[in-house]
Amino acid sequence: MNGEVIRLTARQLVAQRRTLLVLLLAAGPLLLAVIYQLSAPKNDADWTQQEFTATALYGVLIVGLLLPLCSLIFGTAALGSEIEDGTAVYLLSKPIPRREILLSKLLVAWLATSAIVVTTTVVAGVVALWGAPQDGIVLGFAVGVALGALVYTAVFLLLSLITGRALIIGLSYVFIWESLITGLFQGTRVLSVREYVVGVADGISTVSPRVLDASLGAGQAVFLAAAVLVGATAFAVRRLQGFEIGEAG
Amino acid sequence: MTAPGSYNGAEPAPGPGAVIELRNVSRWYGNVVAVNDVSFDLGPGITGLLGPNGAGKSTLLHMLSGFLKPSSGSVTVLGRSAWQNPDLYGQIGLVPERESVYPFLTGREFVVTSARLQGLPDPEAAAARAIHLVEMEQHQHRAAGGYSKGMKQRLKVAAALVHNPSVLLLDEPFNGADPRQRIQMMEMFRRMAAEGCTIVFSSHILEEVERLAQQVLVIVAGRLAASGDFREIRKLMTDRPHTFRVRSSDNRRLASAFVADPAVFGVELDDDFLTVRTSDFAAFTKAAARVARDAEVTLTQLAPSDESLESVFSYLVQR
């Protein structure tokens, strides 16, 4: 890791307009949790606070939408925006191993994503479950999304090194693969970061399968997440080491 | 460096003091050849990389700076391969052509960041020195995103100089700089070269290269068209055949008069103008008025018709 690369990347992410979009996205689940807490009947046998939190708030909004979008925005911006605007040359023309640059970028993208998504998860969860037992749901999902953010940002960082259309391809991946295909075909869930998050959350929480029933075990989810993380990071390091900057002329 | 006025295809012998060595370097993108079998050695001093836009200058500079892998051949800087060798950047300063800078940093922060990324023991002092060198003290606390093109250019130079590199690579460094800034930067590069720095800069403007470079590499269509001492190259460029378009009150009579002039070796009579070919640019421009006066013809136009840099380079390639 390189302190100056971390500082520079953090300032870069904060200065971007996209960060404002992420903050607006994060307000969605918080608002929904507040509305639910204020208006919904709390003792409905078919839709308990725990079910609402685990399924709608976390499953759909946070894990299904906020986490991948936030990771996509920070993951592709951490290095991709510098490549796009031509400032990457200042970083890459320094006597710093490319591996160090990439890991520093990944750390910042992950911390930025986690700061927003984990905070939203905890606050929205506590609000939605106010007056009901948490049974480890909030903790489970907080840990799960932190892990998911790491895997997602590594994948999207790699994507930004492979293509100039990382944002569009990343969006397609989130909405087509993660939302559609893994929902339709059980076998594809081993390749879904979303399933890893739910698997970890399910492993930590103590709620009944009626509330949360992941298709992957916690151990399996962690193993697969680690495999994707290591694979994507190693490939990204390799990609950056052989990264070319050229102009016609 | 190859002998003055030498041409592509000649394999230079490795120079004993060579800081930069290129051996049969080519680079292609798919079917497009950007740099074609280029070899040269460069030592300390200022070398101008001259060529028209799209000639391959930037591709060459990117290979020198380790940002592009040669498709074939080898590029070594300070005895080490330039490609995939980040340690070299401790001794190389690079000024890219694109004017992008981190817009959220002030000029000062930009240079300090560069110094920190170089791992310098006192980045603040190094940045202050570099900013002083490019005379940017007055604007250093403003956000770099709001700088003019010339100021960004000087800022990029300051960031490239902050670690006192022994090799400085500059891609069109005078773009956007006003005449005063240009002179100031040229003086600074001359001082650095005198202290033993190896400076390579690209330009498509002949006068810039003439004023700054001791040595020149002429790149045309990806090939090394000529290399050596600038004066030799300049002489080749000046001594080439020149073509003038001439209009007068009586083109036919003037054509007869020009034919007798020793500086002229060809005259063509067109509908309303003459095309005159001469081997001596200076002699012809001096003689033209006298010849017209003696022939009692009024000259209405006398203009060189092949003075574009591209035509000069084409001539060098054909030689």
Is residue B60 less than 8 Å (CB to CB) from chain A?
no
What does the pLDDT read at residue A177?
Answer: 85
Q: Can you give the pLDDT at residue A68? A: 94
Q: What is the DSSP string of A64-124?
A: IIIHHHHHHHHHHHHHHHHHHHTTHHHHHTSSS-HHHHHHHHHHHHHHHHHHHHHHHHHHH
Whether residues B177 and B61 share a domain: the answer is yes
Which residues of chain B neighbour A15 with C-beta distances below 8 Å? 103-104
Neighbours of A219 (CB within 10 A): 11
Domain count, chain B: 2
Contacts of B58 in chain A (CB under 8 A): 246-249
Chain A closest CA to B95's CA: distance in Å?
9
First to last CA, chain A: 35
* B82 shares a domain with B51: yes
Domain-embedded: residue B11:
no
Three-state secondary-structure class, residue A130: coil
Task: Tell me the three state secondary structure of residue A12.
Answer: helix
Alpha-carbon span A56 to A38, nearest angstrom: 16
- Domain annotation covers residue B5: no
pLDDT tens, per residue, chain B with 319 residues: 443 333 333 444 445 568 899 999 999 988 888 899 999 999 899 999 888 878 888 899 999 999 999 999 999 999 899 998 999 999 999 998 888 899 999 999 999 999 999 999 999 999 999 999 888 888 989 998 889 888 899 999 999 999 999 999 998 888 878 888 888 889 999 999 999 899 999 887 777 887 888 888 888 888 888 888 777 776 676 667 778 889 998 888 899 888 888 888 888 888 888 888 887 777 888 888 888 898 899 988 888 776 555 566 666 666 5
The last residue of one of the domains, among B205, B235, B265, is: B235
pLDDT at A54: 87
Give CA separation, A10 vs A108, A141, B180, B229, in Å.
6, 25, 37, 48
Same domain, B175 and B282: no
Alpha-carbon distance B285 to B267, whole Å? 15
Do B170 and B189 belong to one domain?
yes
Residue-number span of the structural domain to which B281 is assigned = 240-318
* B54 in A contact zone (CB under 8 Å): yes
Q: What residues pair up with B202 in beta bridges, in sequence order? A: B49, B171
pLDDT of residue A248: 39
Does B141 share its domain with B155? yes
Amino acid at the residue B310: E
Q: CATH code at B257?
A: 3.30.70.100
| Cα–Cα distance measured from residue B281 to residue A244, given in angstroms and rounded to the nearest whole number | 45
Of B235, B270, B293, the residue that ends a domain is B235
Complex prediction ipTM: 0.84
Q: Is A55 on the interface with B (CB under 8 A)?
A: no
Asked if B215 and B249 sit in the same domain, the reply is no
Tell me what pLDDT residue B10 has. Answer: 40
- List chain A residues with pLDDT less than 70: 40-47, 247-249
For residue range A187-215, what is the model confidence (pLDDT) as tens digits? Answer: 777 788 999 999 999 889 888 777 777 78
Q: What is the CATH number of the domain that holds B200?
A: 3.40.50.300
pLDDT per residue as tens digits for the range A143-157: 999 999 999 999 999
Q: What residues of chain A, 15 to 34, have a C-beta less than 8 Å from chain B?
A: 15
Cβ distance B210 to B234 under 8 Å? Answer: yes
